[in-house]
Copies of this chain bind each other. A is one copy, B any other.
Amino acid sequence: MATIYDVAKAAKVSPKTVSRVLNGDAPVGKETRDAVNAAIAALGYVPSNAARMMRSNKSGLIGVITGAISVTSEPEQPAGLPELLLVRGIQHIIGPSGKTLMIADTGGSRERVPDLIKTFLEHRVEGLIYVAEYHQKVSLPPVTDDTPLVLTNCFDDAGTPAVVPDDRRGQHDLVARLIAAGHERIAYLTLREEIVATSLRKAGYRDALAEAGIPYDPALVQRGELDSPEGETQVLWAAIDRILRLPNPPTVFCCGNDRQALKVYGILRSRGMRLPEDISVAGYDNYRLIAETLLPPLTTVELPYTAMGVRAAERLLELISGEGREDAGPDIVAGPVHWRGSVTERRSPNVSQLKLVRED
């Protein structure tokens, strides 16, 4: 590959002049500039980032660590889409900033993280973003002090800058909207207990009930997922069965996520119920491939992955430029409710009022 010296020789100028043409950091005579540009084109010269970096000590690189690329476990799960959307949000900010994203994946095994960090440090990345597959607590090996780190979709005990979803508020907003539509008996099928989101969302569910003065009925809240994916359908079947046999059954099922809602559609229909005439269903995630494709389309809460990615990238850029503070606590990002045909309006809700709730 041609170097700046080759170009200089071809254009009969000094290497430094070629450098000036490339960077425009000092005036260059028009004829000289043309000659240099011609030589560059003729030789197919592309400047070497490595050499440039040697002097400037600026790599222009941002490192992203994710498991999206090769998740081995949980085969039926969305498999990386959350991380994909997060990375998309990150790219949305990093791209225009002139920096380049380097993405590495853990290959599903957490032990590889230190290796990846080391590789990134060798490339002298200016900042690091760690992306988790679902909202969780993590503990990463320490990185250098010089290189800022932002956690996304996760947090740690050390108070590392983090961006997480507002699960509590999301569930609250959905349930509040259901109540506004006239639902009062609201069943809730949860995800696994250990998941951070589960407790937060349960709290949000109770918040909304309390606000509306509706008593909390534990019989309406059933676990719809096991630790292992085995026999999941049966668990869900049993949970739904228990709830529907209640003396005062619910008018709507809130599901732990859209995928669970997809299963619930099948189970309810196999029991001969019509959706949404006989029973309403709501999900969580706004996993559009499911939510928008299902018949009827699914009412759900958006997990604002893209927005979180945007926020994480912004925070990282602030930290790099020295503006941001390391200790500013986690950023909590809420996503909107998407109201679709899977929930009946039992009475016309005062939507304008709810919009205020949504936007405050």
Q: Interface on A for B, CB 8 Å cutoff?
A: 1, 44, 46-51, 53-54, 59, 68-70, 75-81, 84, 87-88, 91-92, 95, 100-105, 107, 118-119, 121-124, 144, 146, 233, 259, 262-263, 266-267, 269-270, 288-290, 292-295
Tell me the bound Cα distance from A122 to B122 in angstroms: 17
Q: State the copy count for this chain.
A: 2
Of B78, B80, B118, the residue contacting A46 (CB under 8 A) is B118
Q: Choose among A78, A263, A289 the residue with the greatest number of B CB atoms under 10 Å from its CB.
A: A289
Contacts of A68 in B (CB 8 A): 84
- Expressed in whole angstroms, the minimum distance between the Cβ of A183 and any Cβ of chain B is 23
Contacts of A80 in B (CB 8 A): 81, 84, 88
- Expressed in whole angstroms, the minimum distance between the Cβ of A264 and any Cβ of chain B is 10
Of B91, B124, B288, the residue contacting A1 (CB under 8 A) is B124
Of B75, B77, B100, B293, the residue contacting A76 (CB under 8 A) is B293
Contacts of A102 in B (CB 8 A): 100, 102-103
CB within 8 Å for A288 and B79 given contacts A50-B50, A102-B100: yes
CB within 8 Å for A92 and B70 given contacts A50-B54, A59-B50: yes
Contacts of A69 in B (CB 8 A): 84, 87-88, 91
- Expressed in whole angstroms, the minimum distance between the Cβ of A49 and any Cβ of chain B is 4
24 contacts between A and B (CB under 8 A): A1-B144, A46-B121, A46-B144, A48-B124, A50-B51, A50-B59, A50-B124, A68-B84, A70-B88, A75-B288, A76-B289, A78-B289, A79-B81, A80-B84, A81-B81, A81-B84, A100-B104, A100-B123, A101-B103, A102-B102, A259-B289, A259-B293, A263-B295, A266-B295
Flag if A270 contacts B289 (CB, 8 Å).
no
Flag if A49 contacts B293 (CB, 8 Å).
no
Tell me the bound Cα distance from A79 to B78 in angstroms: 12
New contact pairs (17) apart from A50-B123, A263-B293, A266-B295, CB-CB < 8 Å? A46-B118, A46-B121, A48-B122, A48-B124, A68-B84, A75-B288, A75-B292, A76-B293, A77-B289, A78-B289, A81-B84, A84-B84, A88-B105, A91-B105, A91-B107, A262-B294, A290-B290
Contacts of A269 in B (CB 8 A): 269
Q: Choose among A59, A88, A101, A292 the residue with the greatest number of B CB atoms under 10 Å from its CB.
A: A88
Flag if B81 contacts A49 (CB, 8 Å).
no
Contacts of A292 in B (CB 8 A): 75-76
- Expressed in whole angstroms, the minimum distance between the Cβ of A257 and any Cβ of chain B is 11
